[in-house]
Amino acid sequence: MFGEAHLRAVLKAYASYYNEVRTHLSLEKDAPDFRRTQKIGRIAAIPILARMRHQYIRV
């Protein structure tokens, strides 16, 4: 961490990841925020959280 502002940015990014992308077993491997099912297209990995995690989507 490089200071308070950097720490706040990292925590905000993690909270967004946790609520919008990360799957939860108690929600049958879905995220808390609604997202539409994507069935057509090739899968692409989008790096998030300083490339420590990836979000997989169809494009």
Structural domain span for residue 13: 4-58
Q: What is the pLDDT of residues 17-55, one digit of tens each?
A: 888 777 777 777 777 776 677 788 899 998 888 788 888
What does R_g of the chain's alpha carbons equal in angstroms?
A: 14
Q: What is the pTM of this model?
A: 0.59
CA angle 55, 57, 39 (to 5 degrees): 145
Query: What's the domain count of the chain?
Result: 1
Those residues with Cβ within 8 angstroms of residue 55's Cβ, 6 or more apart along the chain or in another chain: 21, 45, 46, 48
CA angle 18, 21, 27 (to 5 degrees): 80
